[in-house]
Chains A and B, each alone.
Chain A
Amino acid sequence: MSPIFDESGTVFQMEAELARGGQGVVRKLRAVNSHLVKIWHSAPSQADRRRSEALRQLAGSLSDVAALPVSLAFSDAAKTRHCGVFIPLAEGLDVFEIYNMGSRRVLLPGATFELLVKTAKQTAQAFAKVHAHGLVIGDVNEKNLKVMPGHGVRLIDTDSFQVHDGERLHTSDVGTPLWTPPELQGIKLTGVQRTANHDLFGLAQLIFLLLFSGRHPFAGVPVGNDDLQPHDAIRQHAFAYAPAKLGLPLSPPKAAPSFAMLPPPIQQAFLEAFEPSSRQEGMRPSAQSWADLLVNLEHDLIRCQASPAHCHWKGAMECPWCTIFKQTGADLFPRASHDLLSSVKDPVAEVLKSHQPFAFQVTTETAAVMPVQIPIQPGPQGLMSWCSRLLFRQHWQKNWQQEEMRKQRALIKDISDKIRSLQQVQRQVIVNYQRDFQRHKKSLQDWLKRQPSMAKKRSQFLEGVLKSNNQESLNKHLECMMLQDYKIPMVGDSRMAKLRSANILTAADLQPQQLQAASMPSNVITSLLKWRRRMARGIKVTKSVVLSFQDQARVEQMLQQAEQDHQRKLASVQQPLAACTKSAQQKMLATEASIRSLCQQKAQADAVLASFQSTFSP
């Protein structure tokens, strides 16, 4: 490939073609990562050169929003043959890959409405800046805007921008019907002076597509039976979301977000951008006013409680994404499977932590719980008492008291022995309990270790759902492979007829049981299944990495069921732990009651003994 030269005379080698458009071919440059070269299909005129030079002068000040030409390109070192322009490389995704749900799901799994609002705001800001520099974009479309999520947007294909070089106006002669404003539909664009108001039609469309997840503002359910091609709808100002009283030929699609999900000022801006009066210069909302409206919307976003991936304007009556999901089963903002996994905690440690042995303690000897009753008059009662007082008061009473004191001491010793014995029983109960508890806890721990963690279960379910989705996608392809359209080893006309009569028509129908039911010989079954596998291997299914709202609900349901089963089993595994604690508790309580009772008896005996000792003291 011949070399190419910039304005300073530096030589570059061109490489692979990156894109081909109406005007020219964009190629990579060898060993240059920051820039590309666009070579025009036909030799540029003097006017083309002047346009490029005028745009190049603004390249620096607009570098953050538009990839304007930075140098003219020449096919000779003498710089006499102008053949194109050098342009900065604008990396990122095409804007339609952001607003189209199918692309977004693959390229930006887990992206929310917030990203779309932010991209719309940045697009409006880029248009505002370009317009402020006196340029008109002209060829606004879904392929001419690159989005780097988190880093802004850049307009590309800028060499067709309309620019005034100080002497003459260089018009933008390019367009596509789907993006042409009503006032220019069907008009030959060559030499037509484009205006910012024309660009603002395209901007409103871009913003609408972003906020409505790829729904086109001029696509709706037709009121009549006539075919209405997209550019015809634009020509008729048939904005599908306009109030019904306007009697436009389209009504909003049922699976599209409701117009009311947006703040009234934004609704009004869309109406102003698309209504018939918008044809007049200056009537469409400016890029800056769009940017301001979208800044406000960005601040007023909230998350829905049903799914953290659902984000919407706080003034909406309900979450628009949940509404669409309920109506159609389509989740426009599904959660990425890795988001779901990251929020999972492993509960095994929690379970074990909840099982700590009960801290039983041996019941200590305490003071009497009940008030101690001290005998009022120690000594023999009744007639004995009267006689003793009369005859042997001194001598008999002394002996009787000594005898009573000895009895009390023996009683106290007996009670103390019983208390100690019961305390020993308690100690043994505690030792046995701790041993049993640890044994049962070890069993529980082993069982828990054998159980898959919640994270693993969730991961298994997620994988299962994703796999089944991918399998469904593969099956769709297999269903399209009609057996009779292929030459399958060992299957001639008669076997084909036999398969047909058994309703085995497509590659998807080739299942062992069905083939056996169709009385196919085993070697033919093997051959057919081998052929099916070969065909399936040849199908490239884009593996889905995100889960729809519906899939998430399925996974959550499976997890709930699994959790219930787990809790049921866990309860039975935990049962011996609770049982051994309960049994130990009962034994401890029984002995404690006995010890308390003995303590009461002992306190009574102590009090009696003390009473004797006080009256007997010399």
Chain B
Amino acid sequence: MKRLHAENEAITMTPTIIDVDFADNPEPRAPTILLVDTSGSMSGKKIEALNRGLEQFASELAADNLARKRVDVAIVSFGGTVKTVCDFTNAESFLAPTLQADGGTPMGEAVVRAVTMLEQRKMQYRAAGIAYYRPWLFLITDGEPTDDGSHYWQDAIALIHEGEMKGKLSFFGVGVEEANMKRLNLLCPPKRPAMKLRGLCFRELFSWLSSSLKAVSSSTPGAASLTLPSSAGWSSIDL
């Protein structure tokens, strides 16, 4: 049985299973962790819209036969406690979970967990000789951290800023409705400030995210470097 909830638990796959998985699909990977706020304030329409958005994300990625081989998705939720809802899964077999909202907002701890997971995943890629793109951390919240008094919050800020500076990860913060954008921006890198979700446009947000991840495997006119699609469809400020 796979334990998904254990605190800071190491990934349980054995090297052999990983070798077989990567031999099956040695495509370069784009690891992505969705950090989703499932605190009590997200309950009702917000969590329902988020769940529908996640379903859309899963189906749009699965519809692209190359992107689904390259994108590896993990989901960490923070509502009351921090949970690894879904460990790293190739988009080919990723299924959107149905999240439920409850409890406080341990955002800092969730970020620390996600960065730890990313490092472990990268170690697996490196050991197996699988190329990987810069990982994405995509955080969605409608509030503010409730663990900002703990070491987690400061650790989280340090990890994100250092990761961004060293090119180890790309962090995207998205605020929903009453989110404390000021606090969220403390976490976000200065070059990529937090974006505000227009209304409950989660579907548009996740559609943009899947398109951005697909861009990794698409030809880009004019430049031999990755350009992201416009975020105008869901954000009040275009990226």
Q: Is B212 an interface residue (CB 8 A)?
A: no
B222 near A189 with CB under 8 A, answer yes
Contact of B89 among A176, A180, A227, A480 (CB under 8 A): A480
Are B217 and A143 in contact, CB atoms less than 8 angstroms apart? yes
Chain A residues within 8 Å of B22, by CB: 253, 255
Contact assessment for B28 and A21 in the assembled complex, using a CB-CB cutoff below 8 Å: no
Does A227 contact B1, Cβ atoms closer than 8 Å?
no
Of chain B, the residue at the smallest CB distance from A252 is: B129
Interface of B is mostly: loop
Q: Which residue of B lies closest to A539 (CB)?
A: B95
CB of A330 within 8 A of CB of B23, answer: yes
Does B122 sit at the interface, judged by CB under 8 A?
yes
Interchain nearest-CB distance for B125 vs A (Å): 9
Which residues of A from 473 to 501 have beta carbons under 8 Å from B? Answer: 473, 476-477, 479-482, 484-487
Q: How far is the CB of A422 from chain B (nearest CB, A)?
A: 74
A586 to B220, CA, bound (A): 91
Grouping DSSP codes into helix (H, G, I), strand (E, B) and loop, the A interface class, with mixed when no group exceeds half, is loop
Cβ contacts B99-111/A at 8 Å (1 or 0 each)? 1100000000000
Q: In this assembly, does B44 line the interface, its C-beta being within 8 Å of a C-beta of chain A?
A: no
Q: Give Cα A477 to B96, complex, Å.
A: 10
Q: Are the C-beta atoms of A176 and B20 separated by less than 8 Å?
A: no
Which of B5, B24, B132 has a CB less than 8 Å from the CB of A101? Answer: B24
Tell whether, in the assembled complex, residue A503 and residue B1 are in contact, meaning their CB atoms are under 8 Å apart.
Answer: yes
Interface positions, chain B 112-136, Cβ under 8 Å from A, are 122, 126-134
Contact status of A186 and B225, CB under 8 A, knowing A96-B66, A100-B25, A178-B28? yes
Q: How far is the CA of A508 from the CA of B1 in the complex (A)?
A: 8
* Cβ B224 vs Cβ A177 within 8 A: yes
A252-B129, A480-B95, A485-B99 given as contacts; is B224 within 8 A of A332 (CB)? no
Q: Is the CB of A328 within 8 A of B1?
A: no
B52 surroundings in chain A (CB, below 8 A): none
CB distance from B118 to the nearest CB of A (A): 11
Residues of A within 8 A of B223 (CB): 175, 188-190
Q: B129 and A219: CB pair below 8 A?
A: yes
Chain A residues with a Cβ closer than 8 Å to the other chain, count: 76
Q: A222 near B: Cβ within 8 Å? A: yes
Chain B residues with CB under 8 A of A103: 65, 69
Are A173 and B221 in contact, with the CB atoms below 8 A? Answer: yes
Q: Is B60's beta carbon under 8 Å from chain A?
A: no
Q: Is the CB of A214 within 8 A of B224?
A: no
Tell me the bound Cα distance from A231 to B100 in angstroms: 40
Judge if A216 is at the interface, Cβ distance under 8 Å.
yes
Chain A neighbourhood of B45, CB < 8 A: none
Beyond A188-B222, A227-B134, A255-B128, whether A506 also contacts B26 by CB under 8 A is no
Asked if A94 contacts B225 (CB within 8 A), the reply is no
**B161 beta carbon closer than 8 Å to chain A:** no
Most B CB atoms within 10 A — which of A101, A103, A218?
A: A103
For residue B85, give the distance in angstroms from its CB to the closest CB of chain A: 7
Give min CB distance, B131 to chain A, whole Å.
4
Within 8 Å by CB of B65, from A94, A144, A187, A229, lies A94
Known: A216-B28, A227-B168; 10 extra A-B contacts, CB below 8 A, are A22-B220, A22-B221, A186-B224, A252-B129, A256-B129, A480-B95, A480-B97, A485-B100, A505-B3, A506-B1
Residues of chain A touching chain B, judged by Cβ–Cβ distance below 8 Å, are 21-23, 94, 96-97, 100-103, 105, 139, 141-144, 157, 173-178, 180, 184-190, 213-216, 218-222, 227-231, 233, 240, 250-256, 324, 328-330, 332, 473, 476-477, 479-482, 484-487, 503, 505-506, 508-509, 539
Listed by A's residue number, 16 A-B pairs whose Cβ atoms lie within 8 Å are A96-B27, A97-B65, A100-B25, A141-B219, A143-B66, A255-B23, A255-B128, A256-B23, A330-B24, A473-B93, A476-B93, A477-B95, A480-B2, A480-B86, A480-B95, A485-B99
* Residues in B lying within 8 Å of A, measured CB to CB: 1-5, 16, 19-20, 22-28, 65-66, 69, 83, 85-87, 89, 92-93, 95, 97-100, 122, 126-134, 167-168, 217-226
